[in-house]
A and B are shown apart, each in its own frame.
Chain A
């Protein structure tokens, strides 16, 4: 194996690495002061820097929804969000939904309706469901299908996911 070239002797056009920024994020109710490089996405911050691996990476390009989290109550793709842009925000991830060991009703409904198989898209689907209810836009079955279409489930659990969303909407209307 070749040795790594010595930095002293190497030509000095070292590619530029930008300095880190300090930001504050409240994640699942806990305030974090973080030193973050500007190129770190919120998704990588959660998964790789904070070991909150419940939020999934399925594409890193905003094409699948696996990385959906709630930012100030709104669903966003955390892979398309640089962490430094969200200084001062509140983030809720899948890890923050159950309270004192009791599942959020949407989490329980995912289990009861078997709205997943492999479970990899599931944290994103759950956050998206909660975000969709918060938005208050979905009125019909077709609305639900459209507004949940940013979250791909390759296992194909859509029919059961739709049942969960319908129930969640009914619950929110009853409140």
Chain B
């Protein structure tokens, strides 16, 4: 029997459900007499709705109602009732609140009908008249009005240290440079959807696409003034999210509203176009002034970020913390200002702030390395940071040097010729670039429950999510490992608001937070089992403590004499066993905050640029990751592969284009918003370097959801420079820019 489950490349425990179509996503739960809601989206970016005429739609047989701000029931409309666990400071959007239009494609009506097709058709018959107002959607035109928000969404930017102005003035080598990336949209393959099942006595069961069922539960309870127990939110499978499900989206509110009014089950699924109507990675411009000595020692860093937000919420992310994490420098000054536009509020998108800040920083540092005439890797080694300078703390662990070493070796970095345009193959210019990166390794409070039943099966649960990250599998492994059981005997349940408390599934903290709770609750079951084993006649464990034993091969064994032990089945079968049920509510250790806790990465990239056409192909990527303990190398590798693919998208393809004449994102579908397809992705090598960390959390894992993306786009951009000699400073690097 396998005993040690952690670190094994187990297949996903939910794999079978996913390859057979049995896995059910939010729009796939059926209900008797289900009705369908179709959202009508605003055609203007700003103004007022003068009138909505739904009479034609309502004439159709089978159309049940058209909900608008005019006929929606009166709810409590205070801002607080619409805030969720991921709301930035400000006044959240309230669907159908009044006749004001705050952004293009704002939901302004919900048509409910017997069938999806009818609801869609009826929606096209709803006539809306608007009074338009002037709007600001032009980022560049409004950058002069950038402001420091009263309150940042997470932490304010770190305070300056040293004498950055003087140090910059006296530096032998300096550069000033500016980088930009556009708005991007998450576009998970599954569109946001909610199915509200109307049950006996008005009890609602809500299937929602979300990264936190308890967030949706709390949001609906507050917005509709319902007791929490009456709102049951379920989400067993999520077809990708990447941050788009961190906030409950408007289809949830509208589906609940319609179900309550009609006393019917309602399903609302957004269209792909409507997936561009809420939340995006904010467009950002970053300015750098960097100074170094002639031998490449970094002497001054100034980093100023300007990022998009909406007019109603101050969204911000950690864009400017990265110099203090990634480089040693004695003189640093950073700032982060917001540019408010008439758009929906931006939303955390895979590695929010990290993908943004590290992209620009790593390109700027590459420029500086060239200016001092140093190899980019050598430059980073020279300025290696041993402390988190933002907070002046040591790192809990940092095996970034090993990432450089193993990554460079695998890639063959030492065969690189430094000069741009110095490597070619036929009409292709070859470029090699690199970048490094980091992402926070955070642990949040989480709870878990474990039930060991009389048939020897263990069920562990927590209200977390699996958005493809492997939560089902890894939690099953942690539980099985803790109690020495085979995976088949363990079931992990998630995605149900009635389960023990979970933080939002995001920020790369699920393994550390929920995993630690799972381990703790299984340890409690183990302690109970030990007590029962000790009561057995002639127990070899009679006089030992929990520290003296291990769970392996379905037995409790003596640590120093594993031949001695008691089988768990014998404990269960001794009579009178009624099962064991344990709960824990787990908090991170306070001592953690004395350390900077980060996962690290080093990424090496080869591109081939067609000299005549400017087409760029990312032919090779080596991503070396220091992410603490790797729970499952198979699912872990998939997360990093996915991060690299996202980096390719960010560098080469993704851009939501704002038409400032209409105040509308124009390329709002998958035809015009390009994400990487199979043909865009070539060789990717993933390396996990060994990293032991017993500070970061009890299981030593740092989380891998975001570290995989952060250094990819800059490594590609730096490779394009190496290939072409041209610095493209605004993403994506389309062929017109690369030529």
**What residues of chain A have their CB less than 8 Å away from a CB belonging to chain B?**
1-2, 4-5, 7, 10, 13-15, 17, 37, 39-40, 44, 47-48, 51-61, 63-64, 66, 93-95, 97-98, 103, 107-108, 110-112, 114, 116-123, 126, 142, 144-146, 148-162
Contacts of A156 in B (CB 8 A): 641-646, 676, 681
Assess whether A1 is in contact with B272, with CB atoms less than 8 Å apart: no
Chain A residues with CB under 8 Å of B488's CB are none
Consensus secondary structure, chain A interface: loop
Known: A61-B669, A116-B18, A117-B470. A155 touches B56 (CB 8 A): no
For the complex of A and B, the 8 pairs showing the least CB-CB separation, nearest first, are: A54-B21, A156-B645, A120-B239, A118-B468, A117-B468, A119-B18, A156-B642, A53-B28
A66 touches B189 (CB 8 A): yes
Task: Give the shortest distance, in Å, between B280 (CB) and chain A (any CB).
Answer: 15
In addition to A54-B20, A63-B670, A114-B638, 12 A-B residue pairs with Cβ atoms within 8 Å of each other are A17-B118, A47-B28, A48-B116, A58-B189, A58-B272, A63-B671, A66-B189, A114-B11, A114-B637, A121-B189, A152-B670, A154-B675
B663 to chain A, nearest CB (A): 23
Given A54-B20, A119-B14, A151–B638 Cβ distance below 8 Å? no
B109-141 interface (Cβ within 8 A of A)? 115-118, 121, 125
Contact residues, B217-276 vs A (CB, 8 A): 237-242, 261, 269, 271-272
Interfacial residues, chain B to chain A (CB-CB below 8 A): 11-12, 14-25, 27-28, 30, 36, 55-56, 58-61, 64-65, 70-73, 115-118, 121, 125, 187-191, 237-242, 261, 269, 271-272, 467-470, 634-635, 637-639, 641-646, 669-671, 675-679, 681, 684
For residue A135, give the distance in angstroms from its CB to the closest CB of chain B. Answer: 15
- Could you pull out 13 A-B pairs where Cβ atoms are within 8 angstroms? A53-B25, A59-B272, A59-B669, A107-B19, A117-B240, A118-B237, A121-B189, A148-B678, A148-B679, A150-B677, A152-B677, A159-B641, A159-B684
Contact partners of A148 in chain B: CB under 8 A: 678-679
Query: With A and B bound together, what is the CA distance between A123 and B23 in angstroms?
Result: 11
Q: Which residues of A contact B73 (CB under 8 A)?
A: 1
Name, among B17, B55, B59, B676, the residue most crowded by chain A CB atoms within 10 Å (CB to CB). B59
User: With the chains together, A119 CA to B118 CA distance in Å?
Assistant: 29
Say whether, besides A60-B271, A145-B679, A156-B676, A112 and B671 are in contact (CB < 8 Å).
no
For the complex, give the distance between the alpha carbons of A148 and B681 in Å: 12
Instruction: Chain B residues near A150: list those with CB within 8 A.
Output: 677
> Chain A's nearest CB lies how many Å from the CB of B432?
20
Q: How far is A126 from B16 in the complex, measured between Cα atoms in Å?
A: 13
**Closest Cβ–Cβ distance, residue B377 to chain A (whole Å):** 25
**Other-chain contact of A103, B20, B23, B115 (Cβ < 8 Å):** B20
Instruction: For B642, give its contact among A51, A117, A123 (CB under 8 Å).
Output: A117
CB atoms of B55 and A118 under 8 A apart: no
Give every chain B residue within 8 A of A144 (Cβ-Cβ): 678
Interchain CB contact under 8 A, A5 and B189: no
Q: Are B21 and A7 in contact (CB under 8 A)?
A: no
Tell whether, in the assembled complex, residue B19 and residue A157 are in contact, meaning their CB atoms are under 8 Å apart: no
Pick from B20, B240, B638, B669 the residue with the most CB of A within 10 Å.
B20
Cα–Cα distance between A118 and B237 once the two chains are bound (Å): 8
- Decide if B188 touches A120 in the complex (CB within 8 Å): yes
CA distance A107 to B15 in the complex (A): 9
B678's partner among A66, A94, A158 (CB-CB below 8 A) is A158
Contact yes or no, A5 B18, CB < 8 A: no
Residues of A within 8 A of B70 (CB): 2
CB B306 to nearest CB in A, in angstroms, measures 28
A103: chain B residues at CB < 8 Å are: 16, 19-20
- Residues from chain B with a CB closer than 8 A to the CB of A146 are 678-679
How far is B73's CA from A2's CA once the two chains are assembled, in angstroms? 10
Q: Whole-angstrom distance between the alpha carbons of A2 and B71 in the complex?
A: 6
In the assembled complex, which residues on chain A have CB atoms less than 8 Å from the CB atom of B20?
54, 94-95, 97-98, 103, 107
Chain A neighbourhood of B637, CB < 8 A: 114
Interfacial chain B residues near A53, Cβ < 8 Å: 21, 24-25, 27-28
Contact assessment for A14 and B59 in the assembled complex, using a CB-CB cutoff below 8 Å: yes
Contact present for B59 and A118 (CB under 8 Å): no
Output the least CB separation between B523 and chain A (Å).
29
Q: Known interface pairs A39-B117, A126-B19. Does A118 touch B238 (Cβ–Cβ under 8 Å)?
A: yes
Chain A residues with CB under 8 Å of B240's CB are 117-118, 120, 154-155
Q: A56-B189, A63-B669, A64-B189 are in contact. Are A117 and B469 (CB under 8 A)?
A: yes
Shortest CB–CB separation between residue A61 and chain B, in angstroms?
A: 6
Rounded to whole angstroms, the CA-CA distance of A157 and B640 in the bound complex is 10
CB distance from A56 to the nearest CB of B (A): 7
The interface residues of chain A lying within 8 Å CB-to-CB of B670 are 58-59, 61, 63-64, 152
Contact A14 B19 (CB under 8 A): no
CA separation between A52 and B30, bound complex, in Å?
A: 11
* Residue pair B679, A112 in contact (C-beta under 8 Å): no
CA distance A156 to B645 in the complex (A): 5
Please indicate the chain A residues that have their CB under 8 angstroms from the CB of B36 in the complex. Answer: 48
Pick from A5, A63, A110: contact of B272, CB under 8 Å: A63
Q: A56-B239, A148-B678 are in contact. Are A94 and B21 (CB under 8 A)?
A: yes
Q: Which residues of A contact B237 (CB under 8 A)?
A: 118-119
Residues B115 and A55 in contact, CB atoms below 8 Å apart = no
User: Once the chains bind, are B677 and A149 in contact (CB under 8 Å)?
Assistant: yes
A4 & B681 in contact (Cβ 8 Å cutoff): no
List chain A residues, Cβ under 8 A from B468: 116-120, 155
**B271 nearest in chain A by CB position:** A60
Partner of B59, one of A5, A112, A114, A155: A5
Q: Give the residue name and chain of the B residue nearest to A44 (CB).
A: B116
Name which residue of chain B comes closest to A106, CB basis.
B19
Q: How far is the CA of A57 from the CA of B519 in the complex (A)?
A: 37
Among B30, B238, B641, B675, max chain A CB count under 10 A is at B641
A152 and B189 contacting across the interface, CB-CB below 8 Å: yes
